[in-house]
Amino acid sequence: MGGYTPSKLQVLRASLSAYARDVLALYSAWGFILVRLSVPVFMVATAWALSKIASPSGLVASLGYVDYVGYVALGFAFFTMLTTTLFEVGERIHREMVQGTLETVLLTPASRLAWLIGGALGSLMISMADVALVTVYYVTLFRGEVHLGGAPYALAGLLLSLAGMTGMGIALAGIVVNLKEPHAFNVMLTPFLMLLSGMMFPVEALPGPVEAVSRLIPVTHGIEVVRSSLLQGEPAIHLLGILALEAIAYTVVGYTVFRLLEARARRLGGLGSF
């Protein structure tokens, strides 16, 4: 019998449709919709409460952001979008492990990368809905102003940091393949990513070394580009270059790490051991 290797496009399509099915199953439960809605609402509401004690001499104001609600709303929306991408890639692999389909996917050599990116694209669609939601809250409830002229730069920043986060996600997938509790890992990582991404405050407020680390995460620069473009109308164009470099570096490193860790899992019999 001749072996059949599906093309990348076929794998991509198949993984996208599998993803859509997962998402539909997930969101048919109204409880999940509740979570999805309540988190952004209360995040923005907290920012609004904090904005009442903001002072003009504060760091946020001195960086040129007059409206703290908008600062957090955008920060949170894009943070969610970027980290969802990161975790979706990892969790998808775990799901396939539980379903016993991971080995099938990994056995088709040409398809690994396409499959992983397929997962990231899927999660992107959901996060887009999140961003739209937060923007709607911000504009309607808080009458926030957005500089639409900066949108192309914001989009560029977003796409570059998405590429970077996908790269990180692939590395994470390698770790997840070796773990039995990927969810705990994600939940644990999220607050630290929040702390380092500058979602609620400028990373300049962090101690020097911590700030340096935070700048290595694509989310941090990504959020900065989005904020400067949409809230100030003065895009931080110089960050786009750095983001592009980070994206390339993370994709290469991520894929290498994934291959190494996957090989380790295979050696230790971690794959399909569920």
Partner 1 sequence: MNIVYHARVIKAVAVRDFKIRITYIPWIMNSLLQPIAWTLILVYAYRSIMGPGSSEALAAHGWAGDPVGFLILGQVLLSLFNALNWRAGMAIQRERWYGTLELILQAPASRIAVLAGSSLFGLVDAGWASFLSALAVIALTGATFNVADPLAAVASILLAAVGALSMGIGLAGLYVLTRSAGPIAVAIQHPTRFFTGSSFPLTILPAVLQYVGYAIPLTYGLEAVRRTMLQGAGLGDVGPLLYRLLLLSIASTMLGVAMVRWAEGVARRNGWLHTF
Q: Which member of 4, 24, 35, 208 binds partner 1 (CB under 8 A)?
A: 35
- Contact call for residue 209 and partner 1 (CB under 8 A): no
The Cα 170–Cα 88 span in angstroms is 10
Q: Say how many residues touch partner 1, by CB under 8 A.
A: 45
DSSP H helices in 100-207: 102-107, 112-136, 151-177, 182-197
User: Are 223 and 201 a contacting pair, CB within 8 Å?
Assistant: no
Say whether residue 23 binds partner 1 (CB under 8 A).
no
Residue 34 touching partner 1 (CB under 8 A): yes
Q: Which of 2, 3, 109, 191 binds partner 1 (CB under 8 A)?
A: 191
When the beta carbons of 15 and 91 are compared against partner 1, the nearer one is 91
Q: Does 188 bind partner 1 (CB under 8 A)?
A: yes
- The C-alpha angle 108, 111, 112, rounded to 5 degrees, equals 100
| Min CB(179)–partner 1 separation in Å | 8
Among the residue ranges 85-93, 121-129, 192-200, 260-268, the one whose residues contact partner 1 (CB under 8 A): 192-200
Residue range at the interface with partner 1 (CB under 8 A); choices 84-92, 116-124, 199-207, 263-271: 199-207
- Which residue in the set 120, 200, 223, 240 belongs to the binding site for partner 1 (CB under 8 A)? 200
Nearest to partner 1 of 1, 53 (CB atom): 53
Q: How many CA atoms lie within 13 A of 144 on its CB side?
A: 27
CA angle 128, 130, 135 (to 5 degrees): 95
Q: How far is the CB of 75 from partner 1 (least distance, A)?
A: 10
Exactly one of 2, 3, 31, 208 binds partner 1 (CB under 8 A); that residue is: 31
Nearest Cα neighbor of 230 from 143, 135, 148 is 148
User: Is 194 an interacting residue with respect to partner 1 (CB under 8 A)?
Assistant: yes
**For the stretch 176-192, what's the b/e string if a residue is b when 16 or more beta carbons lie within 10 angstroms of its beta carbon?**
bbebeebeebbeeeeee
C-alpha of 17 from chain center: 21
Q: Give me 82's structure tokens.
A: 């970027």
The torsion angles phi and psi of 215, rounded to 5 degrees, stand at -75, -10
Minimum separation from the CB atom of position 193 to partner 1 (A): 9
CA–CA gap between residue 171 and residue 174 (Å, rounded): 5
- Contact (CB, 8 A) for 217 and 197: yes
CB-CB contact of 169 with 86 (8 Å): yes
Options 12, 43, 102, 257; binder of partner 1; rule CB under 8 A = 43
Per DSSP, 31 falls in state: H
Residue list 46-85, contact with partner 1 (CB under 8 A) = 46, 49-62, 68
Give the DSSP H/E element, type plus range, for residue 144: none
At its nearest, how many Å lie between partner 1 and the CB of residue 246?
23
Cβ proximity to partner 1: between 14 and 61 the closer is 61
Question: What does the binding site for partner 1 look like in residue numbers (CB under 8 A)?
Answer: 29-32, 34-35, 38-39, 41-43, 45-46, 49-62, 68, 179, 181, 184-185, 187-188, 191-192, 194-195, 199-202, 204-206
